[in-house]
């Protein structure tokens, strides 16, 4: 789909900037509201209570809000699309979380934070968009404090007999719902294609181990179409 990694990164950036206005609504409709449950499980996996947590690719800050609900002391949300961050700011300012969440522009592949800064780190629906997965996990490892936990939520390659059903939904229904609600069919056709470039759940766990994480594992949800990968520095 892309000739060079840089081309993909730029396409991803422009695509997310375009779909910001419809982003939350499309997510909620095309997942039948289950995205909230997945974010709850992702936040819980890093045991955020009392921690300074980094939400990489925060988007409209839904995962950041969930971390605060689960007792995180402070959340920093980072994203490389300023249009997403503008919505995140607006939502945060209008909520009770205004003093507990802060946002920063930055790339997951070169995080603007010092080594050993965060007690926990999460990301939601980021991994398929990256042009250097091992590099991203090395960055996550670098900015975490020793003992800090990571949890990554994303679509994965569904295993077994339910694979055809899950893929039919993801390849055909999701682009239709997303395209119709957002008016941007190209963005939501990219979604299933982006999965092709992601390793399967075991492959991703191996990348995490190679980056230095221990206690690596994953949990599959929704007929194996959704994975939450966890690890510890």
Ligand X SMILES: C[S@@+](CC[C@H](N)C(=O)[O-])C[C@H]1O[C@@H](n2cnc3c(N)ncnc32)[C@H](O)[C@@H]1O
**Please, which of residues 136-155 interact with ligand X by CB under 6 A?**
none
Which one of 46, 65, 66, 80 is in contact with ligand X (CB under 6 A)?
80
Q: Is 3 exposed, middle or buried (0-12, 13-18, 19+ CB in 10 A)?
A: exposed
User: Pattern 6-35, binding to ligand X, x per CB under 6 A?
Assistant: ------x---x-------------------
For the bound state, the minimum distance from the C-beta of residue 161 to ligand X, rounded and expressed in Å, comes to 28
- CA pair distance 228, 218, nearest whole angstrom: 5
Nearer to ligand X, 16 or 213 (CB): 16
Judged by CB under 6 A, the stretch of 92-100, 124-132, 138-146, 195-203 that binds ligand X is 124-132
Q: Is 6 exposed, middle or buried (0-12, 13-18, 19+ CB in 10 A)?
A: exposed
Judged by CB under 6 A, the stretch of 58-66, 162-170, 196-204, 221-229 that binds ligand X is 58-66
Which phi and psi (to 5°) does residue 218 adopt? -150, 160
- CA pair distance 157, 143, nearest whole angstrom: 28
Angle at 74 between CA 132 and CA 209, to 5 degrees: 30
Q: Which residue number places its CB atom closest to ligand X? A: 59
- CA pair distance 100, 220, nearest whole angstrom: 31
For the bound state, the minimum distance from the C-beta of residue 37 to ligand X, rounded and expressed in Å, comes to 12
Judged by CB under 6 A, the stretch of 104-112, 180-188, 210-218, 225-233 that binds ligand X is 104-112
For the bound state, the minimum distance from the C-beta of residue 145 to ligand X, rounded and expressed in Å, comes to 21
Is 57 one of the binding residues for ligand X (CB under 6 A)?
yes
Is 41 one of the binding residues for ligand X (CB under 6 A)?
no
Which one of 45, 63, 133, 198 is in contact with ligand X (CB under 6 A)?
63
Is 59 one of the binding residues for ligand X (CB under 6 A)?
yes
Nearer to ligand X, 135 or 203 (CB): 135
Report the interface residues with ligand X, using CB under 6 A.
12, 16, 57-59, 62-63, 79-81, 84, 107-109, 124-126, 129-130
């Amino acid at each position: 789909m892309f000739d060079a990694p840089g081309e993909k990164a730029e396409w991803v950036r422009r695509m997310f900037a375009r779909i910001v206005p419809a982003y939350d609504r499309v997510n909620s409709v095309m997942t039948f509201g289950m995205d909230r449950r997945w974010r709850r499980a992702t936040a819980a996996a890093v045991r955020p209570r009392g921690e300074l947590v980094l939400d990489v690719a925060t988007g409209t800050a839904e995962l950041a809000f969930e971390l605060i609900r689960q007792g995180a002391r402070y959340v920093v949300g980072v994203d490389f699309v300023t249009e997403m961050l503008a919505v995140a700011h607006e939502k945060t300012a209008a909520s009770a979380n205004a003093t507990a969440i802060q946002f920063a522009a930055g790339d997951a592949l070169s995080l603007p934070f010092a080594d050993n800064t965060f007690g926990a780190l999460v990301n939601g629906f980021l991994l398929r968009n990256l042009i250097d997965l091992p590099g991203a996990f090395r960055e996550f490892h670098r900015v975490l404090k020793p003992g800090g936990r990571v949890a990554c939520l994303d679509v994965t390659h569904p295993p077994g007999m339910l694979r055809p059903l899950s893929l039919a939904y993801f390849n055909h229904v999701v682009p239709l719902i997303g395209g119709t609600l957002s008016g941007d069919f190209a963005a939501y056709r990219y979604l299933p294609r982006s999965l092709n470039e992601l390793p399967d759940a075991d492959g991703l766990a191996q990348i995490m181990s190679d980056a230095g994480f221990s206690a690596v594992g994953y949990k599959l949800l929704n007929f194996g179409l959704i994975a939450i990968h966890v690890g510890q520095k």
